[in-house]
Structure 1
Amino acid sequence: MKRLLEIAKQLQAISQSGLYYSENDYDLDRYKQIEDLSVEMIELLTNNSIEKIKLVLCNDDGYKTPKVDVRGVIFDEKDRILMVKEKIDEKWSIPGGWSDIGYSPKKVAEKEVFEEAGLVVEAQKLLAVLDKSYHKHPSDINHVYKMFISCKVVGGELKKGMETLDVGYFDINDLPELSITRITKEQIDMLYKFHKGIYTETICD
């Protein structure tokens, strides 16, 4: 099932590029057919409506590229990881979200931590770039790269934000219910190994 969804998303990306770059009417018609079939496949595999799928996947022009999710990683002096409770599903993740136009990855991490947890941080090091489809996340309409960036707290006050219900530090062996669309236990274990110096080189899928 997961592989079929990846194939459908690849076909949709191919169709989008073809519709943008092709000039021949026959080719445009074929690419439109591929787009329609790929959207129908995604609908069957995800139970999302065709309207939602087209809104998410078929609005961009040009060459299709993955979306980028940036997460700020913070541990305290007790080796606990900073987490926020998401409003959207009332489960916990580490601060972060989609990258924004006009912001570097580090600036996105700093902005997201402040907006979701109230802390002023300095982004320091890229720890990992992961392909979401390679990990234990639920299937996603988008193809997503996840960037994890370590951050140092320099100010602010720990508090919830507009998109979060709660915020706090947690021992990695006593975690709250995770928002697994955003973070997995295996990824938190990986981040802890960076924190303890077990991992030192950036991980890239």
Structure 2
Amino acid sequence: MKTNDKLIDWAIELQSLAQAGLTYGKDTFDKERYQKIREISVEMMSEKSGLPINKVKNLFCNEVGYQTPKIATRTAIFKDEKILLVKENNNRWSLPGGWCEVNLSVEENCIKETKEEAGINIKVENILT
């Protein structure tokens, strides 16, 4: 979700990165840094919105786990009557894809996930919903 305000976009993205770090980080010191990033994102949003910090914190930081719009993308790539599959962490085969990142469109997420998982650059031709 991109807005027309860079400060808001940055605050949302920082919150998302901090949430991922707090969820997946193992090191205590890294988690402290992610917590500080989260606090900065709250301060930025409070400053921009004029809302009290506690109100923003309650609205902005109440989610646990990986912060995402809770939708995922998968990319079907065909070549010579074959379809590209990637091996997931659970040893199962799947189309390249994953959770949509905050501030990325479906197209941008397909491109990013395919590059990460299959190591190839793509151009999205169609989006099916």
Q: TM-score, normalised by structure 1?
A: 0.32
**Which structure: larger Rg?**
1
Instruction: Write 1 or 2 for the structure with the bigger share of helix.
Output: 2
Instruction: Write 1 or 2 for the structure with the bigger share of strand.
Output: 1
Q: TM-score, normalised by structure 2?
A: 0.49
